[in-house]
Structures are given as structure tokens and as C-alpha cells.
Chains A and B, each alone.
Chain A
Amino acid sequence: MSEFSVIGRRLPKVNSWAHLTGQARYADDLFLPRMLYGRLLRSTRPHARIRRVDTSRALAHPGVVAVVTGADMPEKMGIMPSTQDETALAVDRVRYVGEPVAAVAAFDEDTAFDALSLIQIDYEDLEPIFTIEEALEREDVKIHDEAKRANVFKEVHLSFGDLEGGFGAADHLRDDWFFFERNTHAPIESHSAVASYGPDDKLTLWTATQVPHYLHRELEKVLGLPRSRIRVIATPNGGAFGGKSDPFGHEFAAALLSMRTRRPVKITLDREEVFYAHRGRHPVKMRIRTGVKKDGEITAVHYQSWLDGGAYASYGIATTYYTGALLTVTYRIPAYKFDGVRVYTNKPPCGPKRGHGTTQPRYGFECQIDKIAEDLDLDPLEYRKKILQPANSRTVNDLRITSMGLGECLDALQRSTRYSERRGQLGTGKGIGLAGSAYISGAGLPIYWNEMPHSGAEIRIDRGGGVTVMCGTSEIGQGSDNMLASVAAEALGVMPADVHVVSGDTSLAPVDLGSYSSRVTFMAGNAVRDAAMKLRALLVAAAAEKLEVPAERLLTAYGRIYDRDDPAKFITFADAAVLAESKHGTLVAAGSYKPPKGIGGSFKGAGVGPTPAYSYQAAVAEVTVDMDTGMVTVDKVTTAHDCGRALNPANVEGQVEGSAYMGYGEIIGEEQVFRGGLHKKPSLLDYKIPTSLDTPVLEAIVVESVDAEGPFGAKEAGEGPLNPVIPAIANAVYDAIGVRFDETPITAEKILTALGKRDRRGERKTRIGPDGLDAGKADPKRALRRLTASTDARERKRPVS
């Protein structure tokens, strides 16, 4: 029998009833009295100076109440305090098609929409930059004047261990280029915000955001309104995936329009706008050099990445570091060098998408590990098991590893799929592929430097035994409300359905930093557990006195506090609450969580990568390739995921399957691509996210390593499981047709090209992917020289020309 009454059970989520009856209130479901409707005017130019904005005709349009422009909110803002380079609405320059420039509030949405066409903007076009290569070289065109070198946003170089010695000791060297295409989150709920500024000079903003606390800070800065007068309420997000974790122009515009009109204002983006809002997966070009001994032991890895960041910073500084930070946590790497460059281009800004910055290098690295296994004639599964980074260790880049279940994940996959026996044996057109991965359970540092908790929670017990949990987490569908209720319920001995949850409200709940970097279960879970254990102690002491049983013999479960040795001896939770309140006063307790010190290094850049616990996962994909049409059918994806402990197994499986689904979409066809700054497919018809009919059979295997520091042993489950699916499918396609796909996505067109069916000479290729910068079009040797020049410049301490 389980030691738990709540944890580990497949109980319905506490908020599922609202979802299933249509009662859940998402931001666009809010209709307030006297509410106005806003729309944003967006730039039609990829790069232009704004000479003049004339809003007079729009303002005169019947039904229009207010118009605001960038000049009304010129304060710079952005999610990362050190790289704030955006304004809520463009002030004097636009840097991508779709950038918001002005906003209108009107009696209804149609009128607001009509009024947009009456705003006249006088643009002076500037030369746009669309590629990484142009951005690196064009000193004459600056997307941001502040960039020191051409259009480089951030350049990082980190080196650990003896790299040259490592490569020197290697028996075999692999040097591979990869490209990961840009793609976007495509949450089905578009972004929406409702602002209400009252006669008390207080602003309330209901918004579909993952980061109510960070938004709270930015609203203060941009609106010049003290934070004490602002309340942000994160409404349930209808999917987010990282796409709602920046402060967005429409949120500020709705707030300012409400302040100007003293009426509630709602702005909801349409689907096309969501594609331009983006902040999705960065396109990354990568070069990975790995040295190995004859038996496969890695001696050194040199990883280089070039990220196309789009027009603004977003999380880019973190993304850049993340491309290099986590490659070391899965397999033993004694020497490691990382060079990363993120550039600006005139496209919508890229940001964090599920797996934030780790997805692209993990794809490249796991494809390369597959190649190394083949070169050395090793079984890819056994090979990975042989080189695992051990539990309770430190990586070469000084990351603390605690629980580590990748080996168990690989074993579980072998049992479930018989990968090792089936690889290479399925016949032409059929293949099986494998990859491993890891992810963080929350970033070790907050995005702005402070010593305060990362997550706080408050619990109140009322006189009827009702429990209310308050925590600033944002429910984005990952199940955070249910996690809060479950952890509190387990600790106190009630059922989750008895717990009221107040989340995502900056006035009612203590700060939680937000639903990003898979931090909520670990950090908010620990904060809630902390608060609950304080109250539990009071209740148990009161019960011990009443029952005349030593407190350490008392257990709490199912609404009772009972004697372990004689369960018939109990008092109810509600009675214990009355006794405890009589003795101690109002039953309220606060708890908090901050990651421990010493989980990462102290070098510059060491802030990205550390986490209190890494999740581990691996996936096996089975594919069928139609040799005539080039269509790839993914028949099945099996993912094994080490989540520490599954607080609710059904919910963990849902997250693992959802991740597999999303990874499948990314490798099989999703691409956020542009032509002259215009999105080629800004609709769900053209940007093909998989439907039910496309989706493979998905199987999730939960592996529990029971982390010593996680709440009841839990780690993350929402992001990591995406990572291995992409390289597993690429490796399966190789097994099926003998072609390496060193770039995403794997489309039918590329397959036919590889099979020699689209080229007049009919030559088969063994690899599709880049050979260097310039997507392989340029002389690869020249690209390599340029690459060396760009990334080694700093270390050679030569002035960069």
C-alpha cells in the first residue's frame, strides 16, 4: 500500500470540472460593464524609420474612444532586465513586419478594426536583414544602434577542462553541422488581455500570461504607475508553451487605453497576430566537434551555435547560454568548449519555446551520438548507457547533478520497444531511432537578481476545515493548480477536491516567478509543502492533546488525524482545525522556496544551466517512409521520462505525450518561415500543426528516481520530454532510408531530394543538412574560416574588425 493518500493517484484534476462544463474563464471570456474593445495597428515594413504618425482621422471615426501610439509609452521594456530593447508600441523605428505601432479603443471590435486603417504612418524604409550571415557581416546596417559588432546581440565563449588535450587523446573525431528551423508555439488560445483602471487610480489587468510577476514589474516601469496600484491576474492560459512569457505590447496598450478612458479595455489577438507575436523557437545553426576513444568514451566536445534572434532580445541572452549549458548533463564530457552567437534580424523576435534553447543542440548532439555509435559499431542504446553522467556528480561546467534516471529510461525503452534487436532489421522504408535528453526543474536564478524566494505560498484553513492555497503560479494547462491542491492535500491529510486554489494573482497570492523553465512543480510545490507542514504541526499538536496520543504517532489522511497504531482513534480534520485555531489564533501559514547555493559555478555565464534537479528522458521513434512520395509516417513514439515522482501519473503522462506530439510536429513539418519579412504561413491551415489523424501512437513510461529535494520527490515533466523525440525521429528516418537529416524539418520534398528523385541526375544523398554558414551554399572551407574568425576572436584577444 502506498505511503500516500493523494500523491501517485490518478485523481481528476481539481480544475477539470470547470474546463469540462465551459465554466473556466479565459481572458477573452471576460466581459466587463462599459468595456471597450481594442485593436493593434502593426507594422507593414520589416525595417523602417517612423517619420510621423497621424491618428487624427482614427480619433474622429464614430465609435472610437481613444488612440495611443509608441510616443505615449517610450520607456524601454523587456523580460530580461539587462537587455531591455523593446517598447510597448514602436516609437521611432519598426524592426519587423507585425510589430505593434498604435492601438485603438472603440465601442466594438469591428469599429476598432476599421479605425486602424485611418491611422497614417509615414515610413522611411531601411534595408532589412534576414539571415544570420548578413547579420554577422553587415556593419553598415544596424537593426539596433547599440550592437557593438554588426548585428550581434550576444556572443559567449566558455571553456572547461583541457579541450586540446581531449581532442589529442581521441581515437576518432566527428565534426558535424546542423540546422534547426524556427517554429512557433501555436497555442489554440490567442493572447488576450482585459485592463480596468478604476476611479481609485488602481489598475487591474487580467491576461493570458505565464509570468504575472514579471509583467507586474514591467507595467510599473512603462506606465509610470506604482506597482502598489497595479494588480495582475493571470487567467487560465489556453496553452502557452513559452509563447506567453514575455510582456507584450497589447498588455500595455490595453492598460494605457483603460487609464485614458477610465473604462475597461479588452485586446484579443487574432490568429495571424499570434504568428507575428511569436517568441518561439530560435533557428540555430550548429557545429559540433566531438572526440571519442575507440570504446566511445567522449574525450572532448566543442559546440558552437549561431542563433537567429529576430528583432528584439526577449529571453535571448538566456536562450544563447542554454544552447550550450545542458549538453554536459547527460553523458560524461571531460573537456568542453561552447561558443554562442545570437544575432538580430528583421523578423519577429524569437524567445522560449518548450525546451528553451536546449532542444536545438540536443537534436544535433543526439544525431551525432547516433553517428558515433555507427562509426564505432556500437549499439546506440548500450553506448549511451555506457557513457552516462553519474548521479550525485558535477559536470565539467560545474553543474550539480543529483537524481539521474536516464539509464532507467533507456532500460525501460529497451524492454518496451526491443530497440536493440529491431534497429537495422526492419527493412527498407522502415526504421527505429533513439535519443536521450535532460531538462531543468526550474532555473537556479531568477531573471532579475535578488535574494528573495523563487516561490511563495500561503495556506489558510477555515473553521469548517476548508483549505485555501494561495500561490502566484500561472495555470497554463500544465496542471499547476492541481499540483498546488495535491501537495497541500497530501501534507495536510485532506483530498485535493477539498482545497480551494487562488493562483496567478499578484494581490492575493505570494510571488511565484512564473510558469517557465519547468519550475512550478519543484519550486511552488516545495513552497506549498513548506506552508502546509507548518499548519500540519499545529493541527497534529492539537489532535495529540485531544486524543492523548504522542504527536509522532499521528498520521493525517482522508480528512482525519488518526493514531498510526489504532486508526479507529481519530479526530476529523475540521475538529482539529477548530482546536488549533482556539489555541493559536487564525490558521494561516506561509511557505517559500529558494534553490540551494552551490548548484552551479561562479564564472560569468554560470547563471544559466544550474537547477535544483535535472529531469531525464529518452524516446524511441518508429517510422515508415514512403519511397515514392517521400512521406514520413511516424508510427509510434515511446518516451520514458524520469520525473522524480509522479504526483499525478495521469497528468505526467499527459505532459509527456503532449511533448512528444509537439516534438513530432517540429521535426515533421512545422516551420515559421518568412519571405521578405512577411510570414509565409500565418494561419493554422498553412502552418501545419499535426491533427489527431497525423499523430503517432504515443506511449509514456514514467520513471521515478525520487529526487531528494523535490516536493515528495518530484521533478519536472512538461518540457524535457519534447527534446529526445526530435532526434529519435531523425535517427529512425536514417535507419529507414540511410539518409542523415542534419536539419529540421524532415519534409517529403527533402526525402525525395535525398533519394535522388527530384534531381535530374538521380543521385542519392546520404545526408541533408548544412555544411557551414550560408546553409552550405558557400564554400564550406570559407564558412569554416569565417566561423573560426568569429568565435575565436575574443580568446585570441585581437580587436574584432
Chain B
Amino acid sequence: MTKQLLTLRVNGEPRTIAADTHHTLLEVLREELGLTGTKHGCELGECGACTVLVDGVPILACLTLPTLVGDSEVTTVEGLASAEDLHPLQVAFAEEGAAQCGYCTPGMLMTAKALLDTTARPTRAASLRAQGPLPLPLRKAGGTNATGAQLP
């Protein structure tokens, strides 16, 4: 199998790795960069668990080839908190009990961050629309709380 040298900007750091050309951004993040906070639920773009931000826009890492990301900034759940502080969303999710098994939570957090970065005071409907493609938030429950946690 052919490997290619890739340089990605992930969570503010330049990272150079050799990856199989057909491997997705999801596989590269998890297996080459050890960023296992990004999860897989279907690897077919159906569940949203692998959502990460590329230049602030939520994308499905399982359907994205890393070469297409180019110089863009990739943000994963590991890049959400600063060294000093948790992101307000993380605090809100904890306080509202929004994470149950926590498996889908990184995808929800990244989706919520993108929403809040572009919409200062989203409505409940907007919040649901943003999470719309994700069946995952509610499977274990805490979904209602997760929606609440996204609202100011």
C-alpha cells in the first residue's frame, strides 16, 4: 500500500505523518495521531460521532480524506479546552449531565461549538437542527440535557 507524507494542522499544532492514501481523516486522527477522542459509529457518514471542525465548520471525519483538508485548521475534542480552562460547553455539558456513556459526546460538542461560534443565541430549534443528523445524542439519553446545555 502506498503511503503519503501529510502535514496537517490539528488543534493548533503542525503534525506530519505518513498515512495510507485511502485512509480517512478519522483513521489518521485516531490511529496516526493518537487523538482517540474522535469516535466512530458507522464510518459511513450516518451517525455523526466523528464530527470535527475544519476551519470552524463541522465535518464528518469518516467521509473526509486528509489530503482534502490541506492547510486548514482541524479541531478535535482534545483541542476544545485550553491548558487552563475547560471550554464553557464542556462545563455546561457536565453541569447538565449531558454525557451519559459519553461516546457520542465529542461529536456533539464539536457540532455545538460550531453552532455557538456562528450564532450567539441559538434557539432550541436551531440547536436541534445543528445536531439533526446525529441520532447519537439521545440513544443513551441525556439528549434533552445536551440540547439544554447548548443554549445560553
Q: Which residues of A contact B (CB under 8 A)?
A: 10, 12-13, 15-26, 28-29, 31, 110, 186-190, 236-240, 270-271, 476-479, 648, 650-651, 653-659, 661-662, 683-685, 689-693, 695, 698
Contacts and interface: CB of A to CB of B under 8 A. Distances in A.
Given A20-B102, A29-B36, A661 B86 contact: no
A192 to B, nearest CB: 10
B102 A24 contact: yes
Most A-side CB within 10 Å, residue of B78, B80, B136, B138: B138
B51 interface: no
A689 B78 CA distance: 28
**From DSSP, what is the main secondary structure of chain A's interface residues?**
loop
Nearest to B138: A661
Nearest to B81: A21
Contacts of A239: 101, 103, 139-140
Given A239-B139, A661-B141, A692-B138, A19 B39 contact: no
Chain B interface: which size bin? 35 or more
Interface in B15-64: 20, 30-31, 34-44, 46-47, 49
A587 B109 CA distance: 41
A511 B90 CA distance: 34
A685 B47 CA distance: 8
B47 A31 contact: no
Given A188-B41, A693-B132, A22 B142 contact: no
Nearest to B109: A20
A477 B44 contact: no
A698 B137 CA distance: 13
A118 to B, nearest CB: 17
A658 B139 contact: yes
B101 A238 contact: yes
Given A16-B94, A188-B136, A684-B47, A658 B36 contact: no
Contacts of B20: 110
Contacts of B135: 188, 684, 689-692
A658 B143 contact: yes
B4 interface: no
B121 interface: no
A477 B95 contact: no
A188 B37 contact: no
Pairs A-B, 6 closest by C-beta atoms: A22-B37, A658-B141, A477-B101, A19-B102, A238-B103, A650-B97
B44 A653 contact: no
Contacts of B147: 692
A272 to B, nearest CB: 9
B104 interface: yes
A243 B80 CA distance: 32
A11 to B, nearest CB: 9
Which of A22, A24, A683 has the largest number of chain B CB atoms within 10 A? A22
A168 to B, nearest CB: 46
B144 interface: yes
Contacts of B90: 17, 20-21
A690 B135 CA distance: 6
Nearest to A63: B1
A683 to B, nearest CB: 6
Contacts of A654: 97, 100, 140-142, 145
Contacts of B96: 650
Contact of B31 (A16, A22, A31): A31
A653 B145 contact: yes
A478 B137 CA distance: 14
A751 B143 CA distance: 29
B132 A12 contact: no
Contacts of A238: 39, 101-104
Contact of B93 (A20, A110, A657, A695): A20
Contacts of B80: 21
B76 A692 contact: no
12 contacts: A13-B97, A18-B102, A22-B77, A22-B106, A26-B103, A237-B101, A478-B101, A653-B145, A661-B139, A684-B42, A689-B139, A691-B131
B8 interface: no
Contact of B94 (A20, A659, A662): A20
B135 to A, nearest CB: 5
A188 B47 contact: yes
Contacts of B129: 693
A403 to B, nearest CB: 24
Interface in B74-89: 76-78, 80-81, 86
Given A684-B44, A692-B147, A477 B78 contact: no
Contact of B38 (A10, A22, A187): A22
A240 B141 CA distance: 12
B61 to A, nearest CB: 13
Given A21-B86, A238-B39, A690-B138, A188 B104 contact: yes
A23 B41 CA distance: 17
B103 to A, nearest CB: 3
B143 A20 contact: no
B114 interface: no
Given A188-B47, A236-B102, A650-B97, A695 B143 contact: yes
B116 interface: no
Contact of B39 (A15, A189, A650, A653): A189
B104 A691 contact: no
B134 to A, nearest CB: 6
B70 interface: no
A525 B49 CA distance: 32
Contact of B102 (A15, A270, A651, A684): A15
Interface in B118-134: 128-129, 131-134
Contacts of B37: 21-23
A658 B142 contact: yes
B141 A657 contact: yes
B141 to A, nearest CB: 2
Given A16-B97, A271-B46, A661-B138, 12 more contacts: A17-B94, A20-B90, A20-B99, A22-B35, A187-B101, A188-B47, A238-B103, A657-B143, A659-B141, A685-B44, A691-B133, A695-B143
A238 B135 CA distance: 14
Contacts of B132: 691-693
Nearest to A20: B90
Given A22-B35, A22-B78, A12 B97 contact: yes
A477 B103 contact: yes
Nearest to B128: A692
A374 B52 CA distance: 53
Contacts of A689: 135, 139
B138 A25 contact: no
A478 B100 contact: yes
Contacts of B103: 26, 187-189, 238-239, 477
A685 B46 contact: yes
Nearest to A238: B103
Given A657-B142, A692-B138, A189 B100 contact: no
Nearest to A698: B144
Contacts of A25: 36
A689 B132 CA distance: 12
A186 B41 CA distance: 10
Contacts of A698: 143-144
Given A477-B140, A689-B135, A692-B131, A16 B99 contact: yes
